[in-house]
Amino acid sequence: MKRFYILALCLIPALAQSTEETAEKRWELGIGVGGIYAPDYKGSKSYRDYVAPIPYVVYRGPVIRTDRDGVRGDFLRTNAYEFTASMAVSVTPDSDKNALREGMPELTSTLELGPAVNVNLSGEDFSQGLSLTLPVRAVVALGDGSPDYIGLVSAPSVVHRGSFKGGWKSTLRAGPVFASGKYHDYYYSVAPKYALPDRPEYNASSGYNGFNLQGALSRRFSDYWYAFYIRYSNIQGVNFDDSPLVETEHNVSGGFAISWVFL
C-alpha cells in the first residue's frame, strides 16, 4: 500500500500539466495505472520498474492546489511571479537488490518539501512559455519506521510549457541540482563498518549533484487522461564521482500514467 501512494505522488509532479482551461471545476477525481522505470539512484547502473494503480486527483483551491506542478501551495501569486510550496518524490522500490550496496542499509523512497519562487520569463501567465523556478526542499526518507530527515536539495531550472495541435500539453525543464552533505551521504558514502576491499570507506560532501533534463506530455481525451515523461540525468563534475557506489555519469528514467476521470 505504501508503494501505491509513493508512486502516485512521484507521477503527479513529473506528469501534471496546466489545468487552467478547466478551472470551472474545483475537484476532479479518477483512478488509473502508472509505471516508472528508473535507476536505484543517480550514478547507478541498476534499474527497477514498478507498475501500480494510482489515484487521479485535481484540486483547484485558492491556496492549496494540484495542477501543472503537482501538489503545491500558492501563498503569493501573480502573472509575473509566484511564491509557492513545492514537492518532489523519488521511488526506490527494490534498492536492497543493488549489488554495489550489498550488506548496506536499504535506500528508501524519498519525499521533498519546501518553498519555491517561480518567475515568469515570457507570456501572459505561467501556463505558456518560459519560466524560472527556484526551489529549496528538505528531504525525508520514507522507510518502514518514522520518516528520516536526510538533508537539503535545490534544483533551480528553466521551464517551458506549450501545447501541440490535437490538445497535447508539453513541459520541458532543465537545470542543475545542488545538495547538502547529509543528502550525498545517504546515497554515496560508505561507513567504515560497510567497507570492503572493492568498496572502500568513503565520505561524500555537499555541492553539485548533477544536471537534469526532463520532458513531459499529457492529454485529456473525454474522461481519460494520458501522460508520459522522460528524464536524463548527468553527474559529470560532481565531487562524489569517485565514490565506490558510482558506476556511470549518465542515467535515463521515464514513466507513464493513464487514468479514468469519473468526477
Tens of pLDDT along 209-240?
Answer: 999 999 999 998 889 989 999 999 999 999 99
In the DSSP assignment, the letter for residue 250 is E
Question: Would you identify the CATH topology of the domain 2-261?
Answer: Outer membrane phospholipase (ompla); Chain C (2.40.230)
Phi, psi of 118 (to 5 degrees): -115, 135
* CA distances for 20 relative to 80, 122, 240, angstroms: 16, 17, 41
State the Cα–Cα distance between residues 11 and 30, nearest whole angstrom.
14
Q: Is the dihedral of CA 57, 60, 64, 67 positive or negative?
A: positive
State the Cα–Cα distance between residues 62 and 53, nearest whole angstrom.
29
Domain limits of the chain? Answer: 2-261
* CA distances for 50 relative to 13, 130, 163, 196, angstroms: 17, 32, 29, 31
Element (H, E) at 177: strand 169-179
Q: Distance from CA of residue 249 to its chain's centroid?
A: 19
Are 85 and 28 a contacting pair, CB within 8 Å?
A: no
Q: Distance from CA of residue 204 to its chain's centroid?
A: 22
Tens of pLDDT along 68-94?
Answer: 555 666 667 778 888 888 788 887 767
Tens of pLDDT along 47-56?
Answer: 999 888 888 8
Q: Where are the alpha helices (DSSP H) in the chain?
A: 2-15, 181-188
- The pTM is what? 0.88
State the Cα–Cα distance between residues 263 and 261, nearest whole angstrom.
6
Mean pLDDT of 9-29: 58
pLDDT of 131 reads 95
Q: Give the other-Cβ count within 10 Å of 28's Cβ.
A: 19
State the Cα–Cα distance between residues 48 and 42, nearest whole angstrom.
13
